[in-house]
């Protein structure tokens, strides 16, 4: 699937079929993560795949009870490694949120190209998720997503016109 087609057709999917994800399909989705660029090529990330039904239910609960997440055969948790990232992005921030987001969005777009659904979860209790997954104190959880075949086809959400988000020469 073309890049722009994947971007145009991607939706946040909140209903999933229990159908398992074939290994070759999952392999290409993870390859899209693996190939992501990062500041200084440090690749300061780790992605955890959760398939255990009980653990999926607990994770969904730690994501402010977004129970639909556990319908998907896999939940992915995207972690960032601040100590292994570039500290001086813009001379004011650590690169890890940027690095992990790039890899995460590669996952989202390749999933779309494979006919899989995702839903970027930003509403979660990080400390609870970390405890459930044994994530070390120095590591951050940036976000999570269910990954599986969609059981719904949501409509497109509205977007701002270009005139509001693009400018020339000055802000």
| Interacting residues with a second copy between 28 and 67 (CB under 8 A) | 28, 30-37, 39, 41, 43, 45-52, 55
Helix (H, G, I), strand (E, B) or coil at 154: coil
Taking the C-alpha atoms of residue 95 and residue 12, their distance in angstroms, rounded to an integer, is 26
CB of residue 71 to a second copy, shortest distance in Å: 18
Helix (H, G, I), strand (E, B) or coil at 131: helix
Residues 77-116 interacting with a second copy (rule: CB under 8 A): 79, 86, 88-93, 95, 97-98, 101-102, 105-106, 109-110, 112-113
3 lies in the binding site for a second copy (CB under 8 A): yes
Taking the C-alpha atoms of residue 94 and residue 53, their distance in angstroms, rounded to an integer, is 35
69 lies in the binding site for a second copy (CB under 8 A): no
Taking the C-alpha atoms of residue 33 and residue 45, their distance in angstroms, rounded to an integer, is 10
CB of residue 83 to a second copy, shortest distance in Å: 14
Helix axis angle for 53-62 and 126-133, nearest 10°, is 160
Q: Nearer to a second copy by C-beta: 71 or 139? A: 139
The tokens describing 50, both together, are 């959760």
Choosing from 15, 17, 57, 125, the residue that interacts with a second copy (CB under 8 A) is 125
> x/- binding map, residues 138-167, to a second copy, per CB under 8 A?
-xxxxx-------------xxxxxx--xxx
Q: Nearer to a second copy by C-beta: 47 or 68? A: 47
Beta-sheet pairing, 140-148 with 45-50: unpaired
CB of residue 74 to a second copy, shortest distance in Å: 10
8 lies in the binding site for a second copy (CB under 8 A): yes
Taking the C-alpha atoms of residue 68 and residue 13, their distance in angstroms, rounded to an integer, is 9
Classify the C-alpha dihedral 50-5-102-168 as positive or negative: negative
Count the residues of the shown chain that bind a second copy, applying the rule CB under 8 A.
78
137 lies in the binding site for a second copy (CB under 8 A): no
């Amino acid at each position: 699937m073309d890049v722009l087609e994947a971007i145009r057709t991607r939706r946040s999917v909140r209903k999933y079929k229990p159908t398992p994800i074939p290994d070759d399909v999952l392999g290409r989705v993870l390859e899209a993560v693996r190939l992501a660029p990062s500041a200084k090529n440090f690749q300061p990330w780790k992605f955890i795949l959760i398939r255990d039904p009980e653990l999926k239910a607990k994770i969904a609960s730690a994501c402010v009870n977004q129970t639909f997440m556990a319908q998907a055969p896999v939940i992915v948790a995207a972690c960032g490694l601040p100590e292994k990232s570039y500290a001086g992005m813009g001379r004011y921030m650590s690169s890890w949120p940027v690095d992990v987001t790039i890899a995460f969005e590669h996952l989202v777009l390749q999933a779309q190209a494979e006919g899989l659904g995702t839903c970027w979860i930003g509403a979660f209790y990080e400390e609870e998720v970390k405890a459930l997954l044994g994530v070390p104190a120095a590591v951050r959880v940036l976000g999570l997503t269910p990954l599986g075949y969609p059981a719904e086809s949501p409509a497109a959400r509205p977007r701002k016109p270009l005139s509001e988000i693009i400018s020339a020469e000055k802000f």
